[in-house]
């Protein structure tokens, strides 16, 4: 059964075959048109084989990835927050007195690169390698007091978590910068450079500690950071598996 070519193409295949036989027994040379048909058919056959190989690989890869996927201890939740998922974007919200606390992050390119560096001769099993790969996305925290006024913190996880655990306050993340939003602007607004941001690495140490305590009182502290890493690692992996499945269906679609 010829599934790739039309009946016209099939006739060209037969014609090309006859002409190829003639060329073996005579000085007859193929026309440029027939040569192009030969090249096109060859490429189509190669593409069909690649599609089959890619589909086969994806089936196995999806199976393997699902086997090592582990639901976090808190499930698809971060304690104390309402979770809303939208593709690679995740939004967390909670209330604190008269304030609304919103945390947003994106899991794209959030997996710790250092965890992926292991020897080709390593004896680690797939599940052990997967356990060492953590998603640590940058995240933004908005503390909103009213419709027109909010304070925002851009935060990022420290590169060396083990080193962070040895610090005085055992911080897993740092405040990169902070600023105020006024006149109805939100973290979803198109923020321009005219909004001044304080640099977390340059401010007074005591001021920095007070800001970290400020976030901690609102539920964004050490335990929150641990839960975010667990949740984000699972969710990022789930998004990866979903992407593989969509590509598999794309390959087989007509």
- Candidates 50, 21, 47, 25; CA nearest to 34 is 21
- Please check whether residue 78 is in contact with residue 228, taking contact to mean a CB–CB distance below 8 angstroms: yes
Helix and strand totals (H; E) in the chain = 6, 7
- Which residues pair with residue 173 across a beta bridge? 157
Q: CATH: 1.10.3720.10, 3.40.50.720, 3.10.280.10, 3.40.50.150. Which one for 82-247?
A: 3.10.280.10
The model carries a pTM of: 0.75
- Please check whether residue 182 is in contact with residue 188, taking contact to mean a CB–CB distance below 8 angstroms: no
- Please check whether residue 230 is in contact with residue 78, taking contact to mean a CB–CB distance below 8 angstroms: no
- Which residues pair with residue 103 across a beta bridge? 92, 141
Length of the chain: 254
Rounded distance between C-alpha atoms, residue 202 and residue 188, angstroms: 26
Q: So where are the chain's domains?
A: 7-68, 82-247
Q: What are 41-90's pLDDT values in tens digits? A: 555 555 678 888 999 999 999 999 999 888 888 888 999 999 999 999 99
pLDDT at 197 over 50: yes
């Amino acid at each position: 059964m010829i599934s790739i070519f039309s009946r016209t193409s099939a006739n060209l295949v037969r014609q090309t075959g006859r002409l190829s036989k003639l060329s073996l027994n005579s000085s007859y040379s193929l026309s440029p048109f027939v040569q192009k048909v030969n090249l096109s058919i060859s490429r189509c056959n190669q593409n069909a084989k690649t599609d089959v190989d890619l589909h086969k690989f994806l089936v196995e890869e999806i199976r393997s990835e699902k086997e090592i996927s582990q639901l976090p201890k808190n499930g698809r939740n971060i304690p104390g927050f309402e979770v809303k998922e939208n593709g690679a974007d995740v939004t967390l919200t909670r209330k604190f007195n008269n304030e609304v606390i919103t945390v947003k992050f994106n899991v794209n390119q959030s997996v710790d690169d250092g965890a992926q560096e292991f020897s080709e001769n390593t004896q680690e099993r797939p599940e052990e390698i997967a356990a060492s790969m953590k998603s640590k996305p940058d995240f933004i925290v908005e503390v909103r007091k009213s419709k027109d006024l909010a304070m925002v913190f851009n935060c990022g996880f420290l590169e060396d978590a083990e080193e962070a655990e040895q610090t005085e306050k055992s911080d897993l993340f740092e405040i990169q910068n902070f600023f105020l939003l006024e006149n109805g602007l939100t973290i979803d607004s198109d923020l321009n450079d005219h909004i001044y941001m304080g640099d977390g690495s340059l401010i007074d140490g005591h001021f920095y500690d007070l800001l970290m305590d400020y976030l901690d009182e609102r539920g964004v502290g050490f335990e929150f950071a641990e839960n975010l890493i667990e949740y984000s690692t699972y969710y990022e992996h789930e998004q990866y598996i979903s992407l593989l499945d969509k590509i598999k269906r794309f390959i087989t679609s007509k």
